[in-house]
C-alpha cells in the first residue's frame, strides 16, 4: 500500500500521544494504527484503536484506512478477552456525540456475563495504580502475540 498522508492536529490528545508528547500505555501499533489502554476504562483492558492520521470521525476516515483500522480492531477483539480472562468483547465507535476526543477511535472492551454493563450507561473507573495499568498492557501485548501466531 502506498504511503498515506497523515495529517495531525496539535490540539488532539491522540495526535499528541502518537507524537510522544502524552504518555500512553500502547498495546499494539503498526504503520497505520495504534491501540492503547483507555485511561478511564469501563473495565480493565478497555482499549482504544486509532488511525495514525487525524480524522475526527469514521465517515471522515479515508476508505483506504478502513481495512487497516478494522484489522487492528479485529485483532484486539480477540486478544483483549484472552488477556483479561473475559468471555467476549464490546466494540463501539462514537461519532461526535459522546466522543470525548475528536479523533476517530474504536473502543474494544472486555465483557463478562453479569458484568453490570447495561444499555448505554457506562460508569467509568480508574486503574488502581500505574503498575496495574502496566500489567494490563503487558497481558494484552502477550495475547496479541499469541493471537497473531494462530
Length of the chain: 150
Residue 147's nearest CA partner among 73, 95, 90 is 73
Selecting among 46, 103, 105, 107, the annotated active-site residue is: 105
105 as an active site residue: the answer is: yes
Cβ atoms of residues 28 and 34 within 8 Å: yes
Say if CB 35 and CB 24 are below 8 A apart.
Answer: no
Active site residue ranges: 105
Amino acid at each position: 500500500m502506498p504511503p498515506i498522508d497523515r495529517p495531525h492536529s496539535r490540539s488532539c490528545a491522540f495526535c499528541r500521544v502518537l507524537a510522544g508528547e502524552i504518555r500512553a500505555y500502547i498495546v499494539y501499533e503498526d504503520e497505520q494504527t495504534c491501540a492503547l489502554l483507555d485511561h478511564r476504562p469501563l473495565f480493565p483492558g478497555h482499549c482504544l484503536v486509532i488511525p495514525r492520521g487525524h480524522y475526527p470521525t469514521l465517515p471522515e476516515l479515508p476508505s483506504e484506512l478502513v481495512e487497516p483500522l478494522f484489522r487492528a480492531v479485529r485483532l484486539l477483539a480477540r486478544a483483549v478477552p484472552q488477556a483479561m480472562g473475559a468471555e467476549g468483547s464490546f466494540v463501539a465507535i462514537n461519532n461526535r456525540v459522546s466522543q470525548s476526543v475528536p479523533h476517530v477511535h474504536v473502543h474494544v472492551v472486555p465483557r463478562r456475563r453479569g458484568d453490570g454493563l447495561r444499555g448505554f450507561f457506562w460508569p467509568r473507573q480508574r486503574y488502581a495504580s500505574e503498575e496495574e495499568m502496566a500489567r494490563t498492557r503487558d497481558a494484552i501485548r502477550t495475547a496479541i502475540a499469541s493471537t497473531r501466531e494462530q
